Chain A
Amino acid sequence: MKETARAAIHTLKAHVAINVRNVERSLEFYRKMLDLEPVKSRPGYAKFDVESPPLNLTINERPFHDRGALFHLGIQVASTADVLAMRERWAEAGLSTREEMQIVCGYALQDKSWVTDPDGNEWEVFVVHRDNLPTYYGNESEQSCCPSGVSCSTAATIQSTACADVAEEKQALDEKR
């Protein structure tokens, strides 16, 4: 927000509302993932009022085709130790985690771990070590930057060409060097 807006407008939390196919199933997942009970639960609807990080997250039972505009979600944490602590907690809660350590993704060097919700939406817990790098991907992790449901290969064949685009971009950058 602009300084003027910041002074004038008292914001509390970002709000993300996602569509889910089965709210009960998603409730179980988000209870475990957030280690939190919903503050409000109704037929086809639940709300999690997350304090750390501040987030008003609602799940809404509603038919939908695919992830559409929702690429992925995440929790940015302060250190690799925090990533590992969260990963440990997720694993203890019975969630299946997928690690990506020391990868360059989104033009930043990161450590992260992923979980997937019942509808295939992916959440990452991540720490950014170095940001504003010239390339989207690191050399060792060509495809790992995408959430697993949209791997670069499937993304290229379905509808999402961003991964292919960045791969091309990376190649072009490499060629320039």
Chain B
Amino acid sequence: MEKETNTTVQALKAHLALNVNDVERSTEFYKKALGLEPVKVRRGYAKFDVQNPPLNLTLNEVPVRESGALSHLGIQLASTEDVLAMRQTWLDRGLQIEDEMQTNCCYALQDKTWVRDPDGNQLEAFVVLKDNLAETTTCCGTGETEQAETSATGTTSAATESATSNDAQAAASCCAPIAASTAATVDTAAVANVCCDTTAATPVTISR
């Protein structure tokens, strides 16, 4: 918001209401992911009042087949150390994580790790290391050096061709893990190579 807005509207929190197939199952997941108990639980409904970062998150039991308009969710952190701490916390709580370190995604260099909720929605803990990279930056690399090396194998060049053939789609793909159902309408070659596609991603070894 602009400064003017800040003086006239006192905003407390962003609010996100999710449709979930099974609220109890999702509540269990978000308790672990957020390290927090829900503040309100009713039949088919739960609310998490997250302070850090500020978020009013509600789960609403509604049959849902796909992520639909929801690309993914995230918690933006201050440093790679925070990402690794969150990753460890998630591991300690029994969540399955998928790492993407030094990834060029959404025109930004990031370190991140993903968890997936019971309905397949993906939640990332991430830090932005370098933002506003140029449009020419391929979105699917896992670091510039590695990208160059990979292109020799043809893997990255295939992704680049797909990106060139459909810039908007490829750019969007980069920033979103693949929701299973949308893949049907998306070019499969592009989907197979998009960055942040944790369904296709190779786990990255963390050496730090």
Interface residue ranges, A against B (CB under 8 Å): 1-2, 5-6, 8-20, 23, 34-36, 39-40, 42-45, 47, 50-56, 58, 60-79, 82, 85-86, 89, 106-107, 119-121, 124-126, 131-132, 136, 155, 159-162, 165-166, 169
CB closest residue in chain B, given A106: B58
B173 within 8 A of A: yes
**Docked complex Cα distance between A45 and B167 (Å):** 10
Q: Is the CB of A74 within 8 A of B35?
A: no
**Docked complex Cα distance between A82 and B1 (Å):** 14
Of the residues A6, A16, A70, A132, contact of B52 by C-beta under 8 Å:
A6
**Docked complex Cα distance between A36 and B181 (Å):** 32
> Which A residues are CB-close (under 8 A) to B64?
68-69, 159
Q: Is the CB of B78 within 8 A of A73?
A: no
Q: Is the CB of A40 within 8 A of B107?
A: yes
**Number of B residues contacting the other chain (C-beta, 8 Å)?**
84
Interface string of B49-73 (1 = CB under 8 A from A): 0111111101011111111111111
B172 within 8 A of A: yes
Q: Is the CB of B10 within 8 A of A78?
A: yes
Q: Is the CB of B66 within 8 A of A65?
A: yes
Q: Please give the distance in Å from B44's CB to the nearest CB on chain A.
A: 6
Of the residues B13, B36, B42, B68, contact of A53 by C-beta under 8 Å:
B13
**Docked complex Cα distance between A107 and B65 (Å):** 26
Q: Please give the distance in Å from B171's CB to the nearest CB on chain A.
A: 4
Q: Please give the distance in Å from A159's CB to the nearest CB on chain B.
A: 5
Q: Is the CB of A69 within 8 A of B18?
A: yes
Of the residues A35, A73, A120, contact of B15 by C-beta under 8 Å:
A73
B99 within 8 A of A: no
Q: Is the CB of A1 within 8 A of B35?
A: yes
Listed by A's residue number, 30 A-B pairs whose Cβ atoms lie within 8 Å are: A2-B89, A12-B77, A14-B73, A15-B75, A16-B16, A18-B70, A23-B168, A35-B4, A42-B107, A44-B169, A45-B172, A52-B9, A60-B175, A65-B182, A67-B68, A68-B65, A69-B69, A71-B62, A73-B14, A74-B14, A75-B14, A76-B56, A77-B12, A79-B10, A82-B11, A106-B58, A159-B62, A162-B19, A162-B61, A166-B44
> Which B residues are CB-close (under 8 A) to A9?
77, 82, 85-86, 89
* A-B pairs with beta carbons under 8 A, tally: 284
- Of listed A6, A13, A20, A50, residue having the most chain B CB within 10 A: A13
Q: Is the CB of B62 within 8 A of A162?
A: yes
Of the residues A40, A65, A74, A79, contact of B181 by C-beta under 8 Å:
A65
Q: Is the CB of A61 within 8 A of B79?
A: no
**Docked complex Cα distance between A62 and B176 (Å):** 9
The answer to whether A50 and B53 touch (CB under 8 A), given A44-B172, A62-B169, is: no
Q: Is the CB of A74 within 8 A of B42?
A: no
The interface-forming segment of B124-132, B142-150, B154-162, B200-208 is B124-132
B101 within 8 A of A: no
CB closest residue in chain B, given A66: B68
The answer to whether A69 and B14 touch (CB under 8 A), given A9-B82, A10-B77, A159-B63, is: no
B186 within 8 A of A: yes
